[in-house]
């Protein structure tokens, strides 16, 4: 009996459903088949261009020497330098980094910005590491990657458990090796160190812009639109703040430790203050506590999952009662859930479109660094809006033209653009 035969089918299904690489490949296969991409091109687009594994020796604060493993995957460099974040987490795997790198390729292609896709990760638990240890890990990881990254090669950014401080260390280490300051090697830096105005709000702002475009299709106005948001961090919190300022009714916020509801719309600024003071969104006096497990499945106009991957699955998708699903998080919906959502007629704004505001303003940061000339926030926001609206319209037009759902359309559009670049450049041999 093989290992697979000895494992119950339900467990295999769950593992396959939750494996990010399997999910990325399933969506790739569907889009490639619908596009009629030939087998050779499918092989090219499916394979990462380069993968690097590094083992990083680091002195810990107590004098011990530890070795951490780091990855960097450049999935595609056909349309420009690789672009994508670096995450620090104990459960980072090469497969996960590969999947995330390919998503970045498709995301940059959907928004038509001149980047390929990349992703990196270091296997470590930041909650157990001091700032000094994190700095030494970051600098040694950067030094190991030195020949593989750069403004024209591969431009990292923050991801899970990395932030603008991490980017400042990477930029400094890279610049020390280069012997001159090279800010464009990473994005997501502090504004005073070559970062872009509007970057920290960009992903949430992008979610609001595409939701606004989707509303027009339902004849809805923000003031009459109920929104449920899962996750009150960078993406969810910023979406909530900007959408509530724009008049949307944010009726519910769902976090890992509770959910709060107010039928007339929550006061988001007050909820942020409450969480800052108490450490939780629960027991907010401007709303009522509701069951967090059920909160995502209440009737609403817009559901915006902005916490983590795999929250809408084949097991719960049938319970959704929203008109529009705007995927702020990466991979919140498993590929097994896609057909269930399609049957329900929910209008999906897929993650590679919905949360692409972040990478779009990262692109602006890279442009500004290379120009050495910085834009005001209004210009950043205006240009972000242009790109988000154009990308939304391109995906929806593609869906209508080819008779497919928005997610498949977004992948088809992206694959088509990358395949075009590969074909026009030709295969160098």
Output 236 or 350, the one with its CB closest to ligand NAD: 236
The kind and range of the H/E element at 253 are strand 249-255
Angle at alpha carbon of residue 239, lines to 226 and 286, rounded to 5°: 60
The torsion of the CA quartet 302, 284, 330, 387, rounded to 10 degrees, works out to 60
The DSSP H or E segment spanning 73 is: strand 65-76
Write the CA distances from 426 to 38, 62, 76, 421, 429, integer angstroms.
Answer: 15, 53, 14, 8, 9
Residues 184-203 that bind ligand NAD (CB under 6 A): 203
Q: Are 347 and 324 in contact (CB under 8 A)?
A: yes
Q: Which residues within the stretch 307-366 sit at the binding site for ligand NAD (CB under 6 A)?
A: 307-309, 328-330, 355, 358
Residues 385/392, Cβ–Cβ less than 8 Å: no
* Alpha helical stretches, state H, 119-233: 131-145, 164-178, 199-218
Is beta strand 300-305 parallel, antiparallel or unpaired with respect to 226-230? Answer: parallel
Strand ranges (DSSP E) for 77-115?
A: 82-89
* Closer to ligand NAD by Cβ: residue 35 or 134: 134
- Using the minimum distance from each CB to ligand NAD, give the nearer residue, 254 or 396: 254
Please, which residue, 140 or 360, has the CB nearer to ligand NAD? 360
Count Cβ atoms below 10 Å from residue 111 Cβ, excluding itself: 24
Between 154 and 255, whose beta carbon lies closer to ligand NAD? 255
Residues 252-311 that bind ligand NAD (CB under 6 A): 254-256, 306-309
Whose CA is closest to 386, among 217, 213, 263, 235? Answer: 213
Tokens of 131: 């700032």
Question: Segment contacting ligand NAD (CB under 6 A): 24-32, 189-197, 234-242, 283-291?
Answer: 234-242
Applying the rule CB under 6 A, the residues between 6 and 65 that interact with ligand NAD are none
Least distance between ligand NAD and beta carbon 401 (Å): 27
Please confirm, yes or no, whether 249 is among the known catalytic residues.
no
Q: Which of residues 236-255 bind ligand NAD (CB under 6 A)?
A: 236, 254-255
| Smallest distance, ligand NAD to C-beta of residue 255, A | 5
Q: Which residue of the chain is nearest ligand NAD when measured via CB?
A: 233
Q: How far is the CB of 355 from ligand NAD (least distance, A)?
A: 4
H or E element, residue 305: strand 300-305
Catalytic choice (43, 83, 107, 119): 119
Residue 24 or 32: the one with the smaller Cβ distance to ligand NAD is: 24
Binds ligand NAD by CB under 6 A, chosen from 88, 141, 174, 232: 232
The binder of ligand NAD chosen from 76, 166, 187, 234 (CB under 6 A): 234
Alpha-carbon gap, residue 39 to 286, rounded angstroms: 57
Least separation in angstroms between residue 87's CB and ligand NAD is 8
Catalytic residues: 119
Q: Which residues bind ligand NAD (CB under 6 A)?
A: 203, 230-236, 254-256, 306-309, 328-330, 355, 358
């Amino acid at each position: 009996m093989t290992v697979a035969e000895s494992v119950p089918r339900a467990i295999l299904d769950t593992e396959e459903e939750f494996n990010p690489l399997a999910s990325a490949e399933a969506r790739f296969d569907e889009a490639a088949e619908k596009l009629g991409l030939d087998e050779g091109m499918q092989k090219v687009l499916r394979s990462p261009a380069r993968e690097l594994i590094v083992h990083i020796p680091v002195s810990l604060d107590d004098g011990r020497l530890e070795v951490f493993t780091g990855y960097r995957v450049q999935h595609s460099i056909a349309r420009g330098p690789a672009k994508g974040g670096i995450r620090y987490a104990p459960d980072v795997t090469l497969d996960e980094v590969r999947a995330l790198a390919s998503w970045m390729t498709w995301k940059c292609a959907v928004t038509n910005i001149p980047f390929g896709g990349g992703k990196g990760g270091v296997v470590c638990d930041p909650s157990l590491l001091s700032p000094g240890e994190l700095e030494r890990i970051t600098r040694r990881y950067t030094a190991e990657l030195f020949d593989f990254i750069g403004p024209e090669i591969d431009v990292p950014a923050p991801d899970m458990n990395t932030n603008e401080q991490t980017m400042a260390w990477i930029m400094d280490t890279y610049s020390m090796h280069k012997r001159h300051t090279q800010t464009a090697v990473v994005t997501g830096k502090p504004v005073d160190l070559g970062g872009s105005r509007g970057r920290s709000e960009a992903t949430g702002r992008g979610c609001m812009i595409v939701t606004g475009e989707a509303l027009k299709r339902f004849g809805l106005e923000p003031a009459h639109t109920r929104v449920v948001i899962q996750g009150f961090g960078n993406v969810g919190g910023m979406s909530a703040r900007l959408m509530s300022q724009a008049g949307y009714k944010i009726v519910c916020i769902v976090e890992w430790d509770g959910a709060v509801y107010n039928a007339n719309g929550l006061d988001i600024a007050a909820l942020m203050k409450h969480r800052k003071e108490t450490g939780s969104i629960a027991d907010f006096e401007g709303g009522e506590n509701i069951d967090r497990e059920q909160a995502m499945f209440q009737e609403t106009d817009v559901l915006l999952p902005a916490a983590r991957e795999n929250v809408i699955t084949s097991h719960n998708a049938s319970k959704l009662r929203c008109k529009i699903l705007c995927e702020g998080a990466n991979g919140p919906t498993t590929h097994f859930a896609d057909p269930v959502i399609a049957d329900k007629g929910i209008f999906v704004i897929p993650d590679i479109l919905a949360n692409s505001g972040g990478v779009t303003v990262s692109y602006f940061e890279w442009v500004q660094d290379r120009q050495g000339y910085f834009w005001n926030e209004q210009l950043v926001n205006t240009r972000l809006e242009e790109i988000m609206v154009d990308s939304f319209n391109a995906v929806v037009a593609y869906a209508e033209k080819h008779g497919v759902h928005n997610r498949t359309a977004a992948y088809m559009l992206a694959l088509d653009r990358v395949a075009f670049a590969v074909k026009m450049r030709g295969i160098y041999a």
